[in-house]
Amino acid sequence: MTHKLYIGTNTKMFQTGNEAEAYIRRMDELIDDIRDRLEFFFIPSYTSLERTAKAVGDRIRIGAQNMAWEDRGQFTGEISPLMLEEIGVRFVLIGHSERRHVFRETDKDEARKIRCAADHGFTSLLCVGETAEQKDRGLAAESVVEQLNLSAGTLSPEEVSGKLWIAYEPVWAIGTAGVPAGASYAEDMHGAIRTALTEMFGAYGKDIPILYGGSVNPSNAADIIARRGIDGLFIGRSAWDPERFDSIIREVLPIFESRSE
């Protein structure tokens, strides 16, 4: 077994700095004996980045929930890559469903952010996912492939190597109103994403990790991770209690490692 399980959480606008620091210190202890088998990451609010990064050093990858596409400028309320770099954060979530659907970001916005992140040598976790309407119209794979092309199409194969991760997060599956995707549906969509990435980036596209996200919880995590082509899990609510998250990780890790691919 050479590859690691990608797994982590985004805390959205929930944890304060004190809460985020206590949480990540506890996760750091809990995963200590298995951390070498994981690509574990934590994506807290901006105000928690510096203190959580200091708390865990290079043992846990800390990422930002968003980033501006310019280094400096008249962009009130935005955070630039220079500001993230200054505090040692070089991993960024781009195009989360809530950014796209609550804050109306477009694929063009995500493309600028992905470009800017690549120019700074950051690793991007790009989220893609179809809406319920697109799924009902039979356009799920097509919509997701279009998002990939529009958002990441300017990257060169060399730029994606180790620096682009994808989270497949169907919009209808995320959050308190979400219905988790069935495992075989997720497997099919991951297959379509892999095909698109290989078309876009050739051999480099085969190594881009594709994580599933959207209402992963203790009762469906094992079924999902058992499926071919699912390289990891991106979990919201079910990851925010450290003991609960640790028990999900320990359940899925041996299943992932015993997969034959």
Write out the residues near ligand PEP by the rule CB under 6 A: 10, 169, 174-175, 178, 213-216, 234-238
The tokens for 114 are 């992905």
| Block residue for tokens 């309407």 | 133
CA distance 234 to 236: 7
**Smallest separation, CB 62 to ligand PEP (Å):** 17
Query: Would you tell me the crossing angle of helices 140-152 and 183-201 to the nearest 10 degrees?
Result: 40
Helix (H) or strand (E) holding 5: strand 5-10
| Block residue for tokens 């990441």 | 152
Q: In sequence order, what DSSP letters do the residues of 71-95 get, joined into one string?
A: SSSS-TT---HHHHHHTT--EEEES
Neighbours of 238 (CB within 10 A): 18
Closer to ligand PEP by Cβ: residue 175 or 191: 175
Catalytic one of 21, 96, 130, 159: 96
Closer to ligand PEP by Cβ: residue 24 or 174: 174
Closer to ligand PEP by Cβ: residue 15 or 215: 215
- Tell me which residue of 147, 230, 156, 233 sits closest to 194, measured CA to CA: 230
Closer to ligand PEP by Cβ: residue 200 or 249: 249
**Smallest separation, CB 233 to ligand PEP (Å):** 9
**Smallest separation, CB 36 to ligand PEP (Å):** 25
Active-site residue flag, 98: no
Catalytic one of 110, 159, 169, 190: 169
Distances (CA, A) of 172 to 29, 97, 131, 152, 209: 34, 10, 6, 23, 22
**Smallest separation, CB 110 to ligand PEP (Å):** 15
Order of strands across the sheet that contains 5-10: 61-62, 38-43, 5-10, 232-235, 210-213, 164-168, 123-128, 91-94
**Smallest separation, CB 236 to ligand PEP (Å):** 2
Query: Do strands 38-43 and 5-10 pair parallel, antiparallel, or not at all (unpaired)?
Result: parallel
Closer to ligand PEP by Cβ: residue 178 or 229: 178
Active-site residue flag, 120: no
**Annotated catalytic sites, by residue?**
96, 169
